[in-house]
Amino acid sequence: MGAAAGMTLEAVLIAGPTASGKSALAAALARRHGGVVINADSMQVYRDLAVITARPTADEIGEVPHLLYGHVDGAVNHSVAAYAAEVAALLPALRAQGRLPVLVGGTGLYFKALVEGLSDMPAVPEAVRTAFRVRTAGLETAALHAELAARDPLMAEKLRPSDRLRVMRALEVLEATGRSLALFQGARRPGPLAGARTLRFFLAPERALVRARIDARFEQMMAGGALDEVAALKARGLDPLLPVMRAHGVPGLIAHLDGALSLAEAVARGQADTRAYAKRQMTWFRHQMHDWQAVAPQEAEAIAFAALDAEGA
């Protein structure tokens, strides 16, 4: 795992599906080795969603430093490129302080961006994005895909006709640059941890255990104020395509607040969506992260501690 021997260990990366225990492991490693925990979850960056994303509590943050949690307003379409830039900005100071970065989360693209780099994607000016979304607001996703197929058949072939978010992204890039998004996907910029010596762990729990934990945790979130949190988010009147509006549990609870679902139905939908996401995470990690060490959650702490002790971190 990581670069050639003889280099100083620069970071620990801990990935895994939701509710697998990775946040607790990251905090334990950072506490023992004088490190800091850095978020690698695309929903925990949002200030609006502390409860429903199971963001670390104030007490947990008080025990060991946690960075890049809750620092982005929900009105912002926070990107993987922005995340990689944030991590890149943090690393020099942490190295100078001798603090070990422990990056933890369930967003595989975040980890790939850190280690493998990013496609050199163009920025879409906000004026272009706003004008495009006003023009397409009443169109079905299939109609948007048909427009993409007519204007950019190369990219349309790569996308499912039902994937509204990616279809719109491809059209926005076309509007802004006059070029196919597919032409930008080949060029890559190196990630901030490219070539660095890292330890990489992937928590691989039994699926039945993950499902049970997800259901129980969603009930705990509801008891902890998730509905009030989503009501406050709904009151902001944000674009429903923003990532914060699609966080697991949010659409169902908004449907309940709109009178379309009972509270029990909304909770069941949130649990089901999160279970499906965890299944996709497990599949993605296994297919995409071949050089990561897969460990069972109950053995993860002992294995990670032993690996770090052997590194002298």
- Domain positions in the chain are 9-119+189-311, 126-185
Exposed, middle or buried: residue 306 (CB in 10 Å: 0-12, 13-18, 19+)? exposed
DSSP string, 91-134: HHHHHHHTPEEEEEES-HHHHHHHHT-EE-PPPPPHHHHHHHHH
Q: Output the pTM of the full model.
A: 0.80
Q: Which amino acid is at 24?
A: A
Distance from C-alpha of 65 to C-alpha of 311, rounded to nearest angstrom: 22
Handedness of CA 156, 158, 161, 166 (dihedral sign): negative
Task: Label residue 5 by pLDDT band (50, 70, 90).
Answer: very low
Decide: 118 and 84 in contact? Cβ < 8 Å: yes
Task: Label residue 2 by pLDDT band (50, 70, 90).
Answer: very low
Decide: 15 and 39 in contact? Cβ < 8 Å: no
Q: Can you name the residues that pair with 142 across neighbouring β-strands?
A: none
Distance from C-alpha of 254 to C-alpha of 247, rounded to nearest angstrom: 11
3-class SS of residue 236: coil
DSSP code at position 245:
G
Specify the CATH superfamily of domain 9-119+189-311.
P-loop containing nucleotide triphosphate hydrolases (3.40.50.300)
- Residues 148-185 have pLDDT tens digits of 999 999 999 999 999 998 899 899 999 998 989 888 77
- Residues 210-249 have pLDDT tens digits of 999 999 999 999 999 999 999 999 999 999 989 999 999 9
Q: What integer is the mean pLDDT of 108-112?
A: 94
**What is the domain class of 126-185 according to CATH?**
mainly alpha
- Residues 115-160 have pLDDT tens digits of 988 876 777 888 888 888 889 888 999 999 999 999 999 999 999 9
Token pair 């971190």 is found at 313
Distance from C-alpha of 47 to C-alpha of 60, rounded to nearest angstrom: 17
